[in-house]
A and B are shown apart, each in its own frame.
Chain A
Amino acid sequence: MDPITFSIIRHRLFRVIDEAVITLKHVSGSAITNEGHDLMVSLYRADGSLLMGGVGFLHHLTSAAEACKAVIRRFEGDIGEGDVFLTNCPYTAALHTSDIYLVAPIHHEGRLVAWSACFVHVYDIGAMVPGGFSPDSRDIFTEGFSSPGIKLVEGGEMRRDVMDTLLNMVRAPEMVALDLSSMIAANNVARERMGALIEKYGADAVDEACGALVDQSETLLRKRLRELPDGRWEARQYFDIEGETCRVLLAMTKEGDELTFDFTGSSPQSHYGINCTYWASWGGFFAPLFPLLCYDITWNDGVLRPIRMIAPEGSVVNCTRPAPVSLATVGTIQSVNNAACTCIAKMLSASEKYAEEATAVWHGSHFAIFMFGLNQRRQEAIGILTETFGGAGGARTWADGIDVGGEIPNPIGRMANVETTEATFPVRYLFRRARPDTGGPGRWRGGNALEFALVQHDSPEGGINYVVSGKGTEFSMSEGLGGGYAGAPCAYRWVHNNRASEAGRNVNPFPTSLDEMTGEAETISWGVFPLKGEDALYVRSDGGGGFGDPLEREPARVQADVEAGMVSAEVAAAVYGVVMANGTVDEGATAARRETLRAARLAAPVAAAAE
């Protein structure tokens, strides 16, 4: 195929996805889709393999391929033009039941030529708790509707019996119907645009270009891997749930042009819904791999070919049915993602050519708060606070992490305005801002984390409920790199009776920090809680990992951080060894302080003796 035609077809495929995503967002009415961009649309080849991955949550690109393949197996001989299939079974392909895949075959002149697939986190799925994150579930059976594959649309006609059955099992069925409609619309647009592409260039030419595109990605990734040194890198993630400590252990081995991700030694599957299934782990490490190693390579099946995964069955990274998984996306999947980010970053750091592509971990905890209850218009309101997409950036090898900068698995995710949330739920924000001293110290500082507080406001029921899936309160989950510290952990506080007066202290109805709140602050981390009366919810997410030695940070940068309120003067002196006087760096005192800190380091025991 001539390179011009190949390039045009490649770009047209990108645009097919872009247009389908726009359609999905236009039809969907939920903040999690429109603001958080918690969605994905991608194209797949006739055999279900990934052809063109779109942006959105990247761990879905490979899982949706498994959804296509599962439908192909299940419905062999019964896949027709205009059909749309639904699957959300985590033990088939999905990450958790709330993330529904709608996959649609694309035919040309009666022949199956491709698939489009998309997902959104639907408004509700009928789990124990509204919204789908179900911390009290101890098995998949209490995590809502789950289908390994069902035909939702047949020959372009909605199967009302199927749709009605599904909507009969969920809360706020009108919103779930809108979610499903948005995905059907996205698939329709993808099918139409693919049809137009094939009409113009011919089915054989498009298929040839698609095959070449997949081969090209494989060739380019293998070439990149050969440029990187061989080796074996380890990473470890901890998370804490209700007194249970889990580990995700990863050893990533690179030999020649192949990579193996080995999770041997990871904890047995959990009693709580933070587990992930095999395909969820598979997708979990591709989420950082795509942007960190394949930033200039088309994300498709060719990228998958040099990659292998070892995930022990019955472990937290490959749980067995009926283990609960409803919080997998903010649970083990995120830790798989973090561990992979660390190993890939260490591999990149070992290369002169690619060292600048390395990054410390971003948004390691992926904290998440779901809210549910009646809103100020007496409508049932269910949804995630989109602050969950406002993670703290990890430091790069050449720049600080971005404060409240986002996350790697979803490069285009964002959080909604305060006003959007206040219009959706009966709540009022007391404050929302970046929290100083949360970014991991380093030559390049990790991005600072978000902190915010909410109270109920104008609620017809006196308040609303929220779900906390708060791992990452005991352990820092955004690891540093090359000597950088991990970011600060999360914190969740249920402030009881925020307007309670205290002796000698005025009650402030508009506190602008946790310290200004009166009333008892109870530490919480897991479960369903009320936000009612005069109570408040305070949340602090985790900071991004730092890069490099904090004593190597230029004093002027530390001064700028102190001036901006991003680092306290205490941390500047204690960790960075930078002494401030009258708002500027005291160079003499700083030199002396850093010398003292280095001397203490040299007085530390040799590790072999200390171990």
Chain B
Amino acid sequence: MSGKRISATLVVNEDRAIACAACGHTLGPAGAPWKDHARLDEQPMQGAGGNPYTNAERVLLRRFFCPGCGALLDTESALADDPFLTDIVRV
């Protein structure tokens, strides 16, 4: 997918929109937070990667997916009440 790279998984396309680098699905305007536009799965971190994931039950694994192709765009470890981490790249 053409565009200006802003992360390992996202680009800014010719229309100044943030887009999935894999399929081009857009996730809002360039320079703005994009995660609200993604699909989100929140599950306990406990067990998420196998038996050694003995995290406390309150710890969540957030996974942000592209709504177009299901690509995993980003992850976070988080407590439920903590906001999404926001990355803004100006290109």
Cα distance, A464 to B79, chains bound together (Å): 38
Query: Could you give, for residues 480-495 of chain A, a 1 whenever the CB lies within 8 Å of some chain B CB and a 0 otherwise?
Result: 1111111111010000
Interface size on A, residues (CB 8 A): 67
Q: Beyond A236-B77, A601-B63, list 13 extra A-B contacts (CB 8 Å).
A: A232-B87, A233-B87, A350-B89, A437-B50, A473-B54, A479-B77, A486-B61, A489-B54, A548-B9, A552-B71, A598-B70, A602-B67, A606-B39
- The residue in chain B whose Cβ has the minimal distance to the Cβ of A449 is B52
Assess whether B8 is in contact with A349, with CB atoms less than 8 Å apart. yes
Cα distance, A540 to B84, chains bound together (Å): 29
Assess whether B49 is in contact with A483, with CB atoms less than 8 Å apart. no
Q: Residue A112 at the B interface, CB < 8 A?
A: no
In the complex, 28 of the A-B residue pairs with CB atoms within 8 angstroms, ordered by the A residue number, are: A232-B88, A234-B86, A235-B85, A350-B91, A352-B5, A435-B52, A436-B50, A438-B52, A440-B49, A474-B55, A474-B56, A483-B71, A485-B48, A486-B75, A489-B55, A543-B49, A548-B9, A551-B72, A598-B69, A598-B70, A600-B41, A601-B39, A604-B40, A604-B65, A606-B37, A607-B39, A607-B40, A608-B37
Query: Could you give, for residues 73-86 of chain B, a 1 whenever the CB lies within 8 Å of some chain A CB and a 0 otherwise?
Result: 11111110010111
Query: Could you give, for residues 568-611 of chain A, a 1 whenever the CB lies within 8 Å of some chain B CB and a 0 otherwise?
Result: 10110001000000000000000000000011111011111011
Assess whether A485 is in contact with B49, with CB atoms less than 8 Å apart. yes
Assess whether B75 is in contact with A606, with CB atoms less than 8 Å apart. no
- State how many angstroms separate the Cβ of B89 from the closest Cβ of chain A: 4
- The residue in chain B whose Cβ has the minimal distance to the Cβ of A346 is B87
Q: Residue A351 at the B interface, CB < 8 A?
A: yes
Contacts between the two chains (Cβ within 8 Å), count:
172
Q: Residue B35 at the A interface, CB < 8 A?
A: yes
Cα distance, A266 to B39, chains bound together (Å): 28
Cα distance, A506 to B33, chains bound together (Å): 58
Assess whether A606 is in contact with B8, with CB atoms less than 8 Å apart. no
Cα distance, A572 to B24, chains bound together (Å): 28
Residues of A within 8 A of B (CB): 229-236, 238, 240, 245, 346, 349-352, 355, 358, 397, 435-438, 440-441, 449, 473-476, 479-489, 491, 540, 543, 547-552, 567-568, 570-571, 575, 598-602, 604-608, 610-611
For B7, give its contact among A449, A482, A484 (CB under 8 Å): A482
For A486, give its contact among B8, B58, B65, B77 (CB under 8 Å): B77
- State how many angstroms separate the Cβ of A352 from the closest Cβ of chain B: 6
Residues of B within 8 A of A350 (CB): 5-7, 89, 91
Q: Residue B19 at the A interface, CB < 8 A?
A: no
Q: Residue B36 at the A interface, CB < 8 A?
A: yes
Assess whether A231 is in contact with B87, with CB atoms less than 8 Å apart. yes
Residues of B within 8 A of A236 (CB): 76-78, 82, 85
For A231, give its contact among B58, B72, B88 (CB under 8 Å): B88
Cα distance, A355 to B89, chains bound together (Å): 14
Cα distance, A548 to B88, chains bound together (Å): 19
Residues of B within 8 A of A489 (CB): 52-55
Residues of A within 8 A of B6 (CB): 229, 231, 350
Q: Residue B17 at the A interface, CB < 8 A?
A: no
Assess whether A601 is in contact with B61, with CB atoms less than 8 Å apart. no
Residues of B within 8 A of A549 (CB): 9, 71-72
- The residue in chain A whose Cβ has the minimal distance to the Cβ of B55 is A489
Cα distance, A516 to B85, chains bound together (Å): 41
- The residue in chain A whose Cβ has the minimal distance to the Cβ of B73 is A483
Assess whether B52 is in contact with A540, with CB atoms less than 8 Å apart. yes
